[in-house]
Structures are given as structure tokens and as C-alpha cells.
Chains A and B, each alone.
Chain A
Amino acid sequence: MTDDSTRGEVADTGSETPPTGDRFPAQEILELDHVYEALGHPRRRYLCYSLLEDTQWSLTDLATTIAAWENDVPEHEVAANQRERVYVSLYHAHVPKLVDEGVIAFDDATETITPAENADQVLAALEGVGASLDSTQETHARGDTGDEER
């Protein structure tokens, strides 16, 4: 009886502070949207993995690194056409997508990629996933390329 009335009072005081209520869920859902959009394609995940290693990348270096991953060869063995295909998809699809999501900034003149305002939350999520699924496993789990461009 006394317990019930105590709970009732606690609930009442809780309902008097709505700001905490609407600040929390809405904000977190928005942040998750960024994370899912950013990490929703294997090449964008590779790109974000690369930002964990180094905070500044030239688009050509990034295309070489990703082509090496995808073709399972050392970077110096990446063929020009393999690099070109990845470069084109980064330039015309994944880089502008990540710029839109606020994850990276892209300098058109120097073709340099650097982290932007939403990079921390996306990289944190990626590191969380990475605890159980590292980049090597990711390569294998990917199966074939290009079947989840969304």
C-alpha cells in the first residue's frame, strides 16, 4: 500500500519533466538513420574503415585500397581498370552520399576526403560492429560486390 502510493508520487514528478522525454528517442533515431545510410553499402563501410586508419585520403589512394580489398590482392598488384571502376563508383555514388550524410568532406580540387561532423557517431558504430566482425571477415561476408547498392 505505502509502496504503491510512493510509486504514484514518483511517476507524477517524472511526468512533470517532459523535456527529457522528447529529447532522447527522437535524437537517437535520427543518429541511427545516418549510421544505416552511411554503412549500407560495402564500399562505404570500407571507406569508413579507412578513416579509422587515417583521417585524410586522396580519392585515388582510397580507390586503390578498396580495389585491393575487393580483389584480394596486394595494393601494388591492383590493375588500372580495377582501380578505375572503384574510383568511378566512389566519385559518382558513395563519396557524394557520405558528404550528404555529413560523414565526410570532399575537396573537389585536391580530391581529398576528410571526416565531417557525423563521422564520430558512424565510426563509433563501425568500431562496435568491428568488435565481433573485423575488416577481414567483412571481406568474406560481403560475398559479391554491387548487390546491395542502396
Chain B
Amino acid sequence: MVIRVTKNDNRGTTSGGDPTFDGDRHWQQAAQRLYEPDRDGGLTTAIVFAIADAADVLPSELTSPTLYETVDVAGIEQAFFSSHTDVTDRNGAGSVDFRYTEYLVTVGSDGWIRVHERTEPETV
């Protein structure tokens, strides 16, 4: 199985500290995955695999809710990764955040999918 997943590796865009959302709640990265269209066969699969990695379950065990009910993945795919976008051109042009159950998922136009989980403020 060739799945390139790196845990708790704050390389790149999160170097300035974990993002803060919902007021004072803090988040830390639990998993990340680089979306590779040829391997993953679609952004939905890449996102579900990343969340499953963060949750420490098999991707097929992540059943409810469906990603389809949660976020417009086809829209993200079209905006960031449409057919003729070269990988080398994806240089931090933007990102999309959304919540999936207790996780915060960030999809960057550079192809990195980052899954964050809450940490208690005092532990940060």
C-alpha cells in the first residue's frame, strides 16, 4: 500500500502556529496527506483517507456523515485541481476549511490536506 501520510509534521504553512478558530479554541494537526490525483482517483478519497488517519480508523469505517453532505468536494476539486493545473503551479493560492465531525479539515491549493483536532487551551 503506497499511502504517503505524515503525522504531526508541521512543515510549511502551519509554521506560524496552529490556526485558531471558533474564538479561543485551539487546534493541532492530527494528520496530513498530499492529494495526488493519479493515485487517489479523486479528492473525496484523499480527504476521507486523511480524516481516517487522524481518527485512527479504516477509511471504510468512516461512514457518517458522508463527505457529500458536509462540503462541496467537487467544487474544491474544480477550483484548485482542475484537469490542466500543473502540480508545480499550486503555490499556496488559497485554502478551504471545513468541519467534519470533531475535526477541522483544511484543503490547500498546493494539494496538502491537513486534519486538525481540538486541544485544550491550557495545553498549548
Please report A residues at the B interface, Cβ cutoff 8 Å: 43, 70, 81, 84-89, 91-93, 96-97, 144-150
Contacts and interface: CB of A to CB of B under 8 A. Distances in A.
29 contacts: A70-B41, A81-B1, A84-B60, A85-B40, A86-B41, A87-B60, A88-B59, A89-B42, A91-B60, A92-B45, A92-B67, A92-B68, A92-B73, A93-B74, A96-B69, A144-B37, A145-B38, A145-B41, A145-B42, A146-B38, A146-B41, A146-B77, A147-B81, A147-B82, A149-B42, A149-B43, A149-B44, A149-B73, A150-B74
Contacts of B15: none
Interface residues of B, number: 28
A88 B45 contact: yes
Interface string B34-50: 00011011111100110
A148 B83 contact: yes
Given A145-B37, A149-B73, A149-B77, A93 B59 contact: no
A96 B74 CA distance: 13
Given A96-B66, A144-B38, A88 B74 contact: no
Interface of B: 1, 3, 37-38, 40-45, 48-49, 58-60, 63, 66-69, 73-75, 77-78, 81-83
Most chain B CB within 10 A, of A144, A146, A148, A150, is at A146
Contacts of B66: 91-93, 96
B37 A96 contact: no
A92 B48 contact: yes
A146 B40 contact: yes
Contact of A93 (B38, B42, B83): B42
Contacts of B1: 81
